[in-house]
Copies of this chain bind each other. A is one copy, B any other.
């Protein structure tokens, strides 16, 4: 599971920047007729559209956002795309194009970058995304990726963070906390490996949560499902930093409060059993874990009948007046004030 140091090595300098870009991107397909010009000019060119354009960008840095000792490069490429598509879907929009910039130190041979791009290509083919540009350069240390995603939606379909109203229902897609626990398992196995490299880890009990960490899927299906159900959320955000932090964003921007119920949190059985094993509180993990890339949104209470019982959606609480604040209602019916405990990359600096 650790980085293979004995792979074939082709030096990046042999190819040069333009040779490298061509080598890595020549097999990518164009899926959208809106992509007039992809890679190969000063800019990519997109056709005009009657829809509004949405744009999002994320940086992923080795040693801060990922650890290549347990993150295979193909998975990293896939995840870097997902992280950005998730933001597009959180606008209730359709993702169409990405740019990918990478910087790599000379520790990485061509074969490693090919693996990374294989993951990017898989994501592009699965989600019907056109790779339209980027930049490729060397770094003085490690690897970093900067991805920008572009999508579109009709003006009347776009959902912002600021439209939640008191009595709206708070809904999440999928389940919570898995990605964070997957990371805990991988970190533990890394420690074990460092002590005893001969040890063969048995990860069968953790397949779901490890996949949530290493190969998350952006919820492209949720905007489509909501359209099918005839529901337009009043606000929406993707869960990248943890439920608690995202609730704060929605409540602050919508000028409302909220009440969420511990007993309603959707948790996978592997999340519950792994929390027990690691002596972690599963509610805290769901609130602060992050990286689930599920969607958190609010809908009018009048839409309850349209969403209830849907296996992809869970109502976890409701919106309140701003003055009421943000609260978690525990199983013991206690009300605890929520704190924004999102992930802060600056607090973990060396």
Contact = CB atoms under 8 A, between A and B. Distances in A.
A342 B137 CA distance: 13
B57 A13 contact: no
B61 A140 contact: yes
Given A64-B137, A138-B348, A146-B146, A42 B56 contact: yes
A16 B344 contact: yes
A55 B91 contact: no
Contacts of A230: none
A248 to B, nearest CB: 9
Number of copies: 2
Contacts of A349: 12-13, 105-106, 138
A69 interface: no
A262 interface: no
Contacts of A133: 55-57
Contact of A346 (B16, B59, B342, B345): B16
A52 B57 contact: no
A44 B17 contact: no
B87 A48 contact: no
Query: Chain B CB within 10 Å — which of A41, A106, A150, A347 has the most?
Result: A41
Nearest to A54: B43
A129 to B, nearest CB: 14
Query: Chain B CB within 10 Å — which of A43, A103, A142, A146 has the most?
Result: A43
Interface in A1-57: 11-13, 15-17, 20, 36-37, 40-57
A160 B91 CA distance: 32
A139 interface: yes
A312 interface: no
A58 interface: yes
Contacts of A144: 103, 139, 144
A146 B55 contact: no
A161 interface: yes
A111 to B, nearest CB: 15
A62 interface: yes
A207 to B, nearest CB: 29
Contact of A148 (B46, B57, B91): B57
A99 B64 CA distance: 21
B146 A42 contact: no
Q: Which 10 A-B pairs have the closest CB atoms?
A: A146-B146, A43-B54, A42-B90, A63-B140, A46-B53, A42-B87, A106-B349, A43-B56, A13-B346, A141-B141
20 contacts: A12-B349, A13-B344, A13-B346, A16-B347, A40-B253, A42-B91, A43-B90, A44-B54, A44-B56, A45-B53, A45-B158, A46-B52, A48-B50, A57-B135, A59-B101, A64-B140, A101-B146, A105-B349, A139-B144, A140-B141
